[in-house]
Amino acid sequence: MSNLPAFTDANYEQEVLGSDIPVLVDFWAPWCAPCQMIGPVVEELAKDYVGKLKVGKMNVDENQTTAANNNVRGIPMLIMYKNGKAVGQHVGAAPKPLIEKFITDNI
């Protein structure tokens, strides 16, 4: 299981939209094989960007309201938030260099 914080419908506004630093949310589900594939990569990148980026996971099965409000139609979906607004999204599994480029392009 992940060491990343869990974002939920209940804490999304405070933890994601109210964050002082950019936030990367990994929308995922336990049954999703591609989600399981990128999970360790996202955790590794979270360590690489400590202090510059907040990273967490949101289980779409347990947090359907936030997933629907963000038009999450396919998972895994990574959404980058800055100043309370979504500034970029990536859908599907990808290797670390591609996810890191997504982060650096949007941070």
Count CB neighbours of 22 within 10 A. Answer: 19
Q: Nearest 5°: phi and psi at 25?
A: -110, 125
Residue 35 maps to a domain? yes
Domain harbouring 42, CATH code: 3.40.30.10
pLDDT band for position 107 (cuts 50, 70, 90): very high
**3 state DSSP class of 103:** helix
> Known catalytic residue: 35?
yes
In contact, 56 and 86? CB cutoff 8 Å: no
Q: Which of 25, 35, 80, 103 is catalytic?
A: 35
Domain of 65, in residue numbers: 12-106
Candidates 32, 72, 80, 94; catalytic one: 32
Residue 4 counted as domain residue: no
Residue 32 among the catalytic residues: yes
pLDDT tens-digit readout, 3-37: 799 999 999 999 999 999 999 999 999 999 999 99
Say how many domains are in the chain.
1
> pLDDT for 46-60, tens place per residue?
999 999 999 999 999
Residue 6 lies in a domain: no
57 in a structural domain: yes
